Structure 1
Amino acid sequence: MNEPVQNQNAPVTPQYPFVADDEIDLKELFMVLWAGKWVISAITALAGVIAVVVALIMPNIYTSSALLAPAESTSGMSSLMKQYGGLASLAGISLPGGGDSSKSGLAKELLKSRAFLSDFIRRRNILPDLMATKAWDASANAIEYDTELYDVKGNVWVRDVAPPKQAEPSMQEAYNAFTDILSVSEDKETAFVTVSIEHQSPYVAQQWVSWLVDDINQAVKDQDVAEAKRSIEYLKEQISNTSLAELQTMFFELIQSQTETIMLAEVRPEYVFKTIDPAVVPEEKSKPKRALICVLGTMLGGMLGVLIVLVRHYAFSEARSD
């Protein structure tokens, strides 16, 4: 029995199963969306209304900023340490450190540290304004506090929280809340530092920025003065313990340098940062962007409406086909 001979030169038609089922019919898609236009419109309108309500409920936030420049160092301790360090080491004497080249960098990190900010919140007594502000009355320039959190008349915290938290916020909570509204940035080219605070009250924002600049200058100044005094005491001990004239001369020069540091620190209020542009009370809010919130909310509502219509249509189509 002869089997039919297949024509090997005949074109072979490729088989693509399910192509017809997988193709997207744009006309059908348009018809589905048109049929569900009322659902899409309703969801879009609802999302737009919700976005408008949310935007109107959100309080105005004001941002106040100060532009700072690193103050020039005037201490000669580092150069004297380099000059006499070898001589002191040959005599078996270890001199105290005197480097101050990274004073502004230290101050910038100190400005964001937990210890400094916790002490700042305590000394300035700003915990209620930080953790219990509900609104700001522009006409009276007064802060309205959330009565469920803080009792202004009794000056006590009344918030209901689960242990281990207490009614009065801890310094850990206060630190986290403060770092959320604090911004410290540095321009790498100019080394200028910008300190910013966000708050519902523009006057509070301006006041806190000014206080931060004053306190960070004072904190670094106090550290340097205390270190200089300890260095002077150490150097005086070394003078009494050595009979070499060269070493005694070196120690007296180092003492003079440290004394100059203390003197200049006492007469220079802007010790580590000079204020180039001080903080002012902002007249315009920085956020929220209400128009953007409304537009994005409406767009997301429209996308959600389209998705619901398509999912409902194709889910029902598969159910009917089964």
Structure 2
Amino acid sequence: MNDQAQVHSVKPDDDDEINLLDLAATLLSYKKLILRLTVGAAVAAVLFSIGSLLLPREISYLPNLYTPRASMLVAQQSGGLSSMLSSSGLGGLASLAGISAGGSSNGELAVAIARSNTTVDELNDEFDFTARYKIKKSYKAETRKAFLEKFSASLDEKTGILSLSFEDIDPEFAMRVVNRTVEILDRRFMALGGSKAMDQKRLLETKLADVQSGMDGLQVKLQEFTTRYGVLSVEALATEQVTVMARLRAELIMKDIEIENYKKFSTIDDPVIRRLRSERDSIATALGEVESGKSGVLPSQKEIPALAFEFATIQRDLLVQTEIFKLITQQYELAKMSAEGQEPSFQILELAEVVDKKSGPSRGMICVVATMAAFFLAVLLAFVLEAVKNIKADPEAMARLKGNVR
């Protein structure tokens, strides 16, 4: 019983050995077929590759491709000055000056701009990709698609380096496309925020000039007011007017008393009485002119409220303009600091150049892959042919096949 078990346990290994021998025998019997197909595929792949090299690149079915590359450093965060101002308690003033206190990433923005329809359309206007790639329908959409298939914009998050590349059979053309894209990015970054601090500084300079002009006008009005009335405030003007009127009224009363006293001693209209009356009339006239404002020196009592309002308005406007000037001056100093200390968010590290080494295709790899594929197909074909041969040699199998066919 044990011997039978041992025989049965060895039988599967014998079957495996027989199967492996059958496989080896099959490969050996079809070795010429396998060799011919493999060598033929290898030769065909080599001839295919050589033929693609001999033809001009414009009509070659497998031309060399060149990929020039440009590198830019894109600042991942901006706002260092604003952070410093915020930490020092000037964050509110910085926000008034238009300086953001938070950082912002520019890398994704640069990639988005480089791949945007606006950029692609501008490049197409200059290089005419539509005609170059022989696009016959849906011109804009297909041109953008064809360009983006050959264009690459990648960002290294760690270093902040943006790489732009373009693949084409003409290395000089590809170089010009990449460098033109860099120029567009540089211009767009300047427009979108690269010169924000400088723009803010120029705007504040204009505002400062406007406010200064308004202050100068108000100061001229105030000077004219004080020159006209000889005082620095309406209160002083009113006080002076009251003082003059009181003095004239006192003189008028004293002159009336003097006339009455003199009449007690003289009953005739002598020259002294006429002189005293003339002096009294002069005082009364002067008092009337002061009260009516006709003296040309002091305004009338009715004009005092209007003058007080005018003077208060001038003073108020001048005070407001002065405070505005102080605030804008502070904002201007912040903007000037930001403009002087701001690092550029987009720096060109290296422009693309005409490359002399192709980026593809790998003809050697094509030959290797074609040869290996032909070898495996030849092996598969050998097993198929051997299986067909075995079926034909087996009457029972042929009978079953014929029965199935019927």
User: Of Structure 1 and Structure 2, which has the larger fraction of its residues in strand?
Assistant: 1
Matched, 1:66 2:70: yes
- Contact residue 75 and residue 260 of structure 1 kept, 8 A: no
Give the drift of 1:74.
Answer: 8.4
Cα 1:296–1:225 change in 2 (3 A) is closer
Partner of 1:115: 117
Q: 1:203 aligns with which of 161, 167, 172?
A: 172
Matched, 1:310 2:383: yes
Cα 1:199–1:78 change in 2 (3 A) is farther
Give the drift of 1:106.
Answer: 3.9
Alignment of 1:151-166 (within 5 A): 159=136, 165-166=137-138
User: Of Structure 1 and Structure 2, which has the larger fraction of its residues in helix?
Assistant: 2
What amino acid does structure 2 have at the position aligned with 1:120? E
Distance 2:193 2:183 in 1: 16
- Contact residue 68 and residue 355 of structure 2 kept, 8 A: yes
Matched, 1:212 2:181: yes
Q: 2:39 aligns with which of 36, 45, 49?
A: 45
Partner of 2:374: 301
Identity %: 24
Alignment of 1:1-322 (within 5 A): 13=5, 19=12, 25-55=19-49, 56=52, 57-70=61-74, 76=81, 79-80=84-85, 83-86=89-92, 98=100, 101-102=103-104, 104-128=106-130, 131-132=132-133, 149=134, 159=136, 165-166=137-138, 169-170=139-140, 172-224=141-193, 252-254=329-331, 271-318=344-391, 320=394, 322=397
Partner of 1:154: none
In the alignment, structure 1 segments of 5+ residues that lack a partner are 1-6, 133-148, 150-156, 160-164
Cα 1:85–1:250 change in 2 (3 A) is farther
What amino acid does structure 2 have at the position aligned with 1:109? V
In the alignment, structure 2 segments of 5+ residues that lack a partner are 53-60, 212-319, 398-406
Cα 1:125–1:23 change in 2 (3 A) is same
Cα 1:97–1:275 change in 2 (3 A) is closer
The alignment of Structure 1 onto Structure 2 pairs a total of residues equal to 271
What amino acid does structure 2 have at the position aligned with 1:186? L
What amino acid does structure 2 have at the position aligned with 1:63? T
Distance 2:16 2:147 in 1: 55
Distance 1:65 1:246 in 2: 55
Distance 1:248 1:65 in 2: 51
Distance 1:77 1:311 in 2: 76
Cα 1:105–1:260 change in 2 (3 A) is same
Tell me how large the CA RMSD over aligned residues is. 4.5
Cα 1:231–1:78 change in 2 (3 A) is farther
Give the drift of 1:60.
Answer: 0.8
Give the drift of 1:59.
Answer: 0.5
Residue 288 of structure 1 aligns to a residue whose secondary structure is coil
Residue 214 of structure 1 aligns to a residue whose secondary structure is helix
Cα 1:125–1:277 change in 2 (3 A) is closer
Partner of 2:274: none
Distance 2:152 2:349 in 1: 17
Residue 63 of structure 1 aligns to a residue whose secondary structure is coil
- Contact residue 115 and residue 153 of structure 2 kept, 8 A: no
Partner of 2:283: none
Cα 1:68–1:225 change in 2 (3 A) is closer
Give the drift of 1:282.
Answer: 0.8
| Larger CA Rg, structure 1 vs 2 | 2
- TM-score scaled by length of structure 2: 0.53
